[in-house]
């Protein structure tokens, strides 16, 4: 019995091949628990077979366990067979994510003598769409969007021949029987051209913007070397500065444009084919407008044959979700009309429906370790194993970067990236995706876990859904629990949640928290010095207001004079109004958020007054710090209501002195990062002295900042503490649903 990622990934044909080569008889079949193999033959050949099974697996398969058992000999057994699946109604195990086109298929598509030459929908057992084309389970062609494309004779032969690479490949297709491309003009009319692909290439080279139908939705694309095209895309999409992902033709091209390490290139080449964030080389012809705030760029490689064919002729291309602003990725034809003519000049489409939306995944490698920033296409719906099971739980996630989570037994299924629930279309997608995943997994969750914040759309929906039990989980407890669940830590741990904002137990806004937590309980044992948000939550969009709040925290009324010198973006009158709010505390709620500290310092250094996307001020501050010289400011640990308060008051004073002394802002930015890291480690050390553990769990959106993450990790290890950070799920709110689910399961277990 083999378990792991072994179904729908070409595992059975591989077993068949190895068994036949070793002269063994027996069978292989899918079962609810994995893949069952029975072989019979002479001992040494069975050894050879097992060795090959371990070493020569399909690249997208992953064997977690291989359990071997001896059975009585069956004298009359003949040949080796692939047997029909044991369909016990519980066969979701065999439902893999979408897989990037494999090397064999790409070679065929590019080979003029192959019958699939130039065919964009080529796939095999080892690759191709899965999650995005399945209507229901079990995973069979009849239950996919390929149902309307009857296999031609040759494809059928491949599909039924166990030794063929396309044996049982549900989306198998060829130019004779499969889906076709077409190209639409801005008015939605089909353009009468011989080759839709070549026409798309021509238009892209002209600097036009295209909508390209992909696996889980439409991409908007344009030539990444053309400033004008990229600018036009930004204007039409309403996305001023937020980085765009860029698709490169191949690994060679990536390394010409980016400082990608071999490990990073390998990650791009993985079957999940995520966007990998890497620094770009200076002085290339890549438009600076792809990511104006940072040297980093989200780079990825073609993952469908259509991408390969397109990028061979025109590259590199900006490839961004085909949506308006933060709406979910566009997938239905009806929705195409929302972007075609408004954002895109043309659309390269095909007649294979997309049944399920799924955005591209995004990762970054930090010292060679994967940090997932968005877990979506290529990983969803692969489950994450939890240390305990229980009744099915639906965990709703948070408000921004939403992903929800559904558990079945001890497996957690984190959904694809849903998006910001404040956007209306996202909300519809959210409800649809919840119903969809419940249907696929065949569960009706009676337990609902949700954020503490009553105004989140996810919380409202939790209240509106029927449930036996609803469990509210504090935002930062959920962050820490998500990271614990990934590492299967039972706790207690010291949880460090450095985040944007989330509602705290005391009704104030938290986001720079030191918690002592296990899954069931969570105690706030420390936090960052609080700042006031002058003018309320709008200050999140205006970091310059946070800077004034920070100055006021240290200098009081003097902040007026200092602000007039260092915060020129604030008009005198505005500054005075804001200061009155800070003085009186009206319309100036306090928060302990780490994100707001990054905002405040970024604005004080003149890097970002107003943001056009979440996290922008921090992105710019980190970009500055990367070039800065090492520097550390003083901080202080105070006690306040049994909580350690990490105060940066000494730092604010010193930073201003540095500004007056014309110290480069890169050095000050670096100093801020180092001080934040040293302060965090100092609080953890204090908690570890009196506490039950040396394990420190790092979570929250601020830890997407890899400079901070590395500084904190190193500072902790110097103090003899063990740091755990996210690998499989995002540190941002995209991973929070996993933590909510883990907390709910532990709570249910306790009764």
In the complex, the residues that contact Zn ion under the rule CB under 5 A are 102, 105, 124, 126-127, 152, 155, 174, 176-177
Q: Report the nearest approach of Zn ion to the CB of residue 154 (Å).
A: 6
174 binds, among Fe ion, Zn ion, none (CB under 5 to 8 A by kind): Zn ion
Taking the C-alpha atoms of residue 275 and residue 375, their distance in angstroms, rounded to an integer, is: 10
Determine if the peptide bond prior to 166 is cis (ω within 30°).
no
Taking the C-alpha atoms of residue 561 and residue 546, their distance in angstroms, rounded to an integer, is: 16
177 binds, among Fe ion, Zn ion, none (CB under 5 to 8 A by kind): Zn ion
617 binds, among Zn ion, Fe ion, none (CB under 5 to 8 A by kind): none
With CA atoms as reference, report the closest residue to 547 among 636, 672, 662. 672
- Which residue in this structure is represented by tokens 């494309």? 149
Which segment (153-161, 169-177, 432-440, 498-506) binds Fe ion by CB under 5 A?
A: 498-506
**Number of CB atoms found within 10 A of residue 661's CB:** 7
Measured from the CB atom, is 38 or 158 closer to Zn ion? 158
Determine if the peptide bond prior to 138 is cis (ω within 30°).
yes
Measured from the CB atom, is 58 or 589 closer to Zn ion? 58
Quick one: tokens of 619?
A: 């992105």
- Which residue in this structure is represented by tokens 């849903």? 418
Note whether 280 and 295 are within 8 A (CB).
Answer: yes
376 binds, among Fe ion, Zn ion, none (CB under 5 to 8 A by kind): none
Q: Report the nearest approach of Zn ion to the CB of residue 178 (Å).
A: 6
127 binds, among Fe ion, Zn ion, none (CB under 5 to 8 A by kind): Zn ion
Question: Alpha carbon of 363 to those of 216, 299, 360, 496, 597: distances in Å?
Answer: 18, 10, 10, 21, 25
Which segment (118-126, 247-255, 460-468, 732-740) binds Fe ion by CB under 5 A?
A: 732-740
Size of residue set near Fe ion by CB under 5 A: 2
With CA atoms as reference, report the closest residue to 275 among 294, 296, 253. 296
Q: Report the nearest approach of Zn ion to the CB of residue 528 (Å).
A: 50
Measured from the CB atom, is 15 or 127 closer to Zn ion? 127
Measured from the CB atom, is 175 or 664 closer to Zn ion? 175
The DSSP secondary structure of 11-23, one letter per residue, reads HHHHHHHHHHHTT
Residue 733 in the binding site for Fe ion (CB under 5 A): yes
Taking the C-alpha atoms of residue 746 and residue 751, their distance in angstroms, rounded to an integer, is: 9
| CB-count exposure of residue 534 (10 Å: 0-12, 13-18, 19+) | buried
Quick one: tokens of 362?
A: 């995004």
Q: Report the nearest approach of Zn ion to the CB of residue 9 (Å).
A: 11
> Positive or negative, the Cα torsion across 540, 542, 544, 548?
negative
Q: Report the nearest approach of Fe ion to the CB of residue 723 (Å).
A: 19
Measured from the CB atom, is 499 or 513 closer to Fe ion? 499
152 binds, among Zn ion, Fe ion, none (CB under 5 to 8 A by kind): Zn ion
Q: Report the nearest approach of Fe ion to the CB of residue 734 (Å).
A: 9
Q: By beta-carbon distance, which residue lies closest to Fe ion?
A: 499
Note whether 160 and 142 are within 8 A (CB).
Answer: no
Measured from the CB atom, is 128 or 734 closer to Fe ion? 734
The DSSP secondary structure of 366-380, one letter per residue, reads ETTEEEEEE--TTTT
**Number of CB atoms found within 10 A of residue 128's CB:** 27
Q: Report the nearest approach of Fe ion to the CB of residue 420 (Å).
A: 13
102 binds, among Fe ion, Zn ion, none (CB under 5 to 8 A by kind): Zn ion
Residue 499 in the binding site for Fe ion (CB under 5 A): yes
Which segment (33-41, 224-232, 497-505, 689-697) binds Fe ion by CB under 5 A?
A: 497-505
733 binds, among Zn ion, Fe ion, none (CB under 5 to 8 A by kind): Fe ion
Taking the C-alpha atoms of residue 665 and residue 591, their distance in angstroms, rounded to an integer, is: 26
Which segment (33-41, 72-80, 349-357, 731-739) binds Fe ion by CB under 5 A?
A: 731-739
126 binds, among Fe ion, Zn ion, none (CB under 5 to 8 A by kind): Zn ion
37 binds, among Fe ion, Zn ion, none (CB under 5 to 8 A by kind): none
> Hey, what's the torsion of the CAs at 415, 419, 421, 425, to 10 degrees?
-100
Quick one: tokens of 186?
A: 């801005």
Q: Report the nearest approach of Zn ion to the CB of residue 150 (Å).
A: 9
Q: Report the nearest approach of Fe ion to the CB of residue 557 (Å).
A: 34
Measured from the CB atom, is 127 or 386 closer to Zn ion? 127
Measured from the CB atom, is 201 or 414 closer to Fe ion? 414
Q: Report the nearest approach of Zn ion to the CB of residue 153 (Å).
A: 8
- Starting from the edge strand earliest in sequence, which strands make up the sheet with 411-414, in order? 384-385, 411-414, 405-408, 393-395, 447-451, 469-473
Measured from the CB atom, is 108 or 733 closer to Fe ion? 733
Measured from the CB atom, is 102 or 497 closer to Zn ion? 102
**Number of CB atoms found within 10 A of residue 325's CB:** 12
Measured from the CB atom, is 301 or 656 closer to Zn ion? 301
Measured from the CB atom, is 293 or 499 closer to Fe ion? 499
499 binds, among Fe ion, Zn ion, none (CB under 5 to 8 A by kind): Fe ion
Measured from the CB atom, is 168 or 733 closer to Fe ion? 733
Taking the C-alpha atoms of residue 251 and residue 262, their distance in angstroms, rounded to an integer, is: 10
Taking the C-alpha atoms of residue 427 and residue 405, their distance in angstroms, rounded to an integer, is: 16
**Number of CB atoms found within 10 A of residue 75's CB:** 6
92 binds, among Zn ion, Fe ion, none (CB under 5 to 8 A by kind): none
486 binds, among Fe ion, Zn ion, none (CB under 5 to 8 A by kind): none
Q: Report the nearest approach of Fe ion to the CB of residue 436 (Å).
A: 25
Measured from the CB atom, is 130 or 475 closer to Fe ion? 475
With CA atoms as reference, report the closest residue to 179 among 237, 111, 121, 259. 121
Q: Report the nearest approach of Fe ion to the CB of residue 733 (Å).
A: 4
Quick one: tokens of 649?
A: 């008051």
Q: Report the nearest approach of Fe ion to the CB of residue 652 (Å).
A: 25
SS3 assignment for 245-303: EEECCCHHHHHHHECCCHHHHHHHHCCCCCEEEEEECCCCCCCHHHCCCCCEEEEECCC
Q: Report the nearest approach of Zn ion to the CB of residue 390 (Å).
A: 39
Instruction: Give the binding site for Fe ion (CB under 5 A).
Output: 499, 733
């Amino acid at each position: 019995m083999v378990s792991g990622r072994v179904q729908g990934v070409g595992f059975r044909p591989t077993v068949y091949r190895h068994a036949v080569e070793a002269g063994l008889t027996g069978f292989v079949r899918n079962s609810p628990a994995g893949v069952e193999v029975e072989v019979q033959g002479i001992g040494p050949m069975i050894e050879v077979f097992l060795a090959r099974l371990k070493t020569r697996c399909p690249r997208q398969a992953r064997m977690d366990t291989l359990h071997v058992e001896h059975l009585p000999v069956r004298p009359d057994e003949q040949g080796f067979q692939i047997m029909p699946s044991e369909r016990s109604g519980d066969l979701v195990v065999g439902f893999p994510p979408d897989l990037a086109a494999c090397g064999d298929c790409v070679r065929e598509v590019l080979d003029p003598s192959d019958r699939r030459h130039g065919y964009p929908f080529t796939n095999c057992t080892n690759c191709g769409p899965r999650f995005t084309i399945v209507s229901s389970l079990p995973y069979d062609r009849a239950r996919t969007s390929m149902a309307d494309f009857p296999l031609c004779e040759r494809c059928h032969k491949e599909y039924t021949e166990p030794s063929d690479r396309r044996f049982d490949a549900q989306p198998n297709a060829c130019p004779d029987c499969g889906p076709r491309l077409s190209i639409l003009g801005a008015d939605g009319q089909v353009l009468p051209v011989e080759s839709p692909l070549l026409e798309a290439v021509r238009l892209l080279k002209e600097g036009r913007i295209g909508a390209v139908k992909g696996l889980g939705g439409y991409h908007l694309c344009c030539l990444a070397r053309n400033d004008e095209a990229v600018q036009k895309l930004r204007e039409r999409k309403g996305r001023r500065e937020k980085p765009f992902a860029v698709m490169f033709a191949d690994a060679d091209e990536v390394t010409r444009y980016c400082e990608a390490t071999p490990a990073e290139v390998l990650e791009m080449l993985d079957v999940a084919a995520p966007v990998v964030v890497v620094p770009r080389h200076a002085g290339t012809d890549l438009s600076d407008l792809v990511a104006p705030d940072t040297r980093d760029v989200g780079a990825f490689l073609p993952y469908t044959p259509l991408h390969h064919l397109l990028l061979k002729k025109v590259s590199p291309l900006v490839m961004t979700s085909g949506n308006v602003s933060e709406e979910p990725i566009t997938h239905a034809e009806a929705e195409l009309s929302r972007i075609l003519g408004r954002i895109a000049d043309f659309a390269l489409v095909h007649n294979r429906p997309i049944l399920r939306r799924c955005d591209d995944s995004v990762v970054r490698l930090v010292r060679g370790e994967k940090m997932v920033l968005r877990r979506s296409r290529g990983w969803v719906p692969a489950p994450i194993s939890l240390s305990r099971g229980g009744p099915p739980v639906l965990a709703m996630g948070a408000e921004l970067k939403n992903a929800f989570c559904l558990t079945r037994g001890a497996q957690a299924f984190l959904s694809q990236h849903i998006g910001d629930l404040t956007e209306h279309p996202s909300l519809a997608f959210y409800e649809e995706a919840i119903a969809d995943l419940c249907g696929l997994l065949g569960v009706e969750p009676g337990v609902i876990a949700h954020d503490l914040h009553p105004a989140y759309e996810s919380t409202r929906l939790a209240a509106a859904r029927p449930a036996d039990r609803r469990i509210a989980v504090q935002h930062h407890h959920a962050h820490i629990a998500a990271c614990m669940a990934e590492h299967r830590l039972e706790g207690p741990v010291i949880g460090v949640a450095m985040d944007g904002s989330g509602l705290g137990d005391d009704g104030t806004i938290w986001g720079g928290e030191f918690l002592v937590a296990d899954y069931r309980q969570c105690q706030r044992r420390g936090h960052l010095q609080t700042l006031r948000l002058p003018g309320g939550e709008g200050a999140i969009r205006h970091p310059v207001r946070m800077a004034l709040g920070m100055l006021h925290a240290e200098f009081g009324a003097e902040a007026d004079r200092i602000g007039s010198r260092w915060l020129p973006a604030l008009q005198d009158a505005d500054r005075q109004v804001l200061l009155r709010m800070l003085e009186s505390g009206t319309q100036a709620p306090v928060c302990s958020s780490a994100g707001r500290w990054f905002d405040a310092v970024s604005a004080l250094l003149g890097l970002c007054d107003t943001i056009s996307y979440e996290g922008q001020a921090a992105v710019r501050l980190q970009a500055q710090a990367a070039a800065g010289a090492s520097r550390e400011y003083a901080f202080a640990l105070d006690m306040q209501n049994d909580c350690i308060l990490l105060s940066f008051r000494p730092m604010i004073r010193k930073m201003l002195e540095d500004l007056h002394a014309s110290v480069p802002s890169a050095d000050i930015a670096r100093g801020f990062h180092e001080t934040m890291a040293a302060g965090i480690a100092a609080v953890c050390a204090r908690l570890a002295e009196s506490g039950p553990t040396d394990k420190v769990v790092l979570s929250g959106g601020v830890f997407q900042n890899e400079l901070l993450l590395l500084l904190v990790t190193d500072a902790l290890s110097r103090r003899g503490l063990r740091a755990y950070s996210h690998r499989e799920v995002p540190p941002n709110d995209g991973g929070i649903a996993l933590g909510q689910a883990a907390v709910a399961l532990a709570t249910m277990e306790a009764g």
